Structure 1
Amino acid sequence: MTFDNNTPRTFTRSTSKRMLGGVCGGIAEYFGIDVNIVRAAAVVASFITGGTAILLYLALWVIIPE
């Protein structure tokens, strides 16, 4: 089996599906899932980790290009 397009996908923040920084929208676009699922998972993760997920979100906001 061969693929015509072997270029890797780039991971960027979303410019269209953003609420705050576009990190959740970028994750949703990269994996092809609904952005609301990613946002809900981020909220649940922030409660489960005691706020560490919020720090991870902020770090991704700074690191991931737009």
Structure 2
Amino acid sequence: MNTSPEKKRLTRSPDKMIAGVLSGLAEYFDMDPTIARVAYVLLSIFSAGFPGLFVYIILWIVVPERE
């Protein structure tokens, strides 16, 4: 009998604005998707060279869609 808790897995969410990456991250960390989106945009704007777009595209490719 397996009594271990279900393992959390990072996936892209169907609740998406573009690709579901940020809402998937928000679900993984148990936070509101809107807060995650706003924080990500602000972090991207205030960091040098807008690396946020590059990171988002990589996550879009690497993180699987929810089945």
Aligned length: 62
**Equivalent-residue separation in structure 2 for 1:22 and 1:8 (angstroms):** 20
Structure 1: stretches of 5+ with no match in the other structure: none
Structure 2: stretches of 5+ with no match in the other structure: none
Identity of aligned residues (%): 37
State the match for 2:62 in structure 1: 63
Q: How does 1:12-23 map to 2 (within 5 A)?
A: 12-15=11-14, 17-23=15-21
Q: Deviations over 1:24-61 (max 9, x none)?
A: 11011111110000000110111122310110011000
**Equivalent-residue separation in structure 2 for 1:12 and 1:18 (angstroms):** 12
Moved over 2 A (4+): 4-7
Paired letter, 2:26: A
TM-score of the superposed pair, with normalisation by structure 2: 0.83
TM-score of the superposed pair, with normalisation by structure 1: 0.84
State the match for 1:33 in structure 2: 31
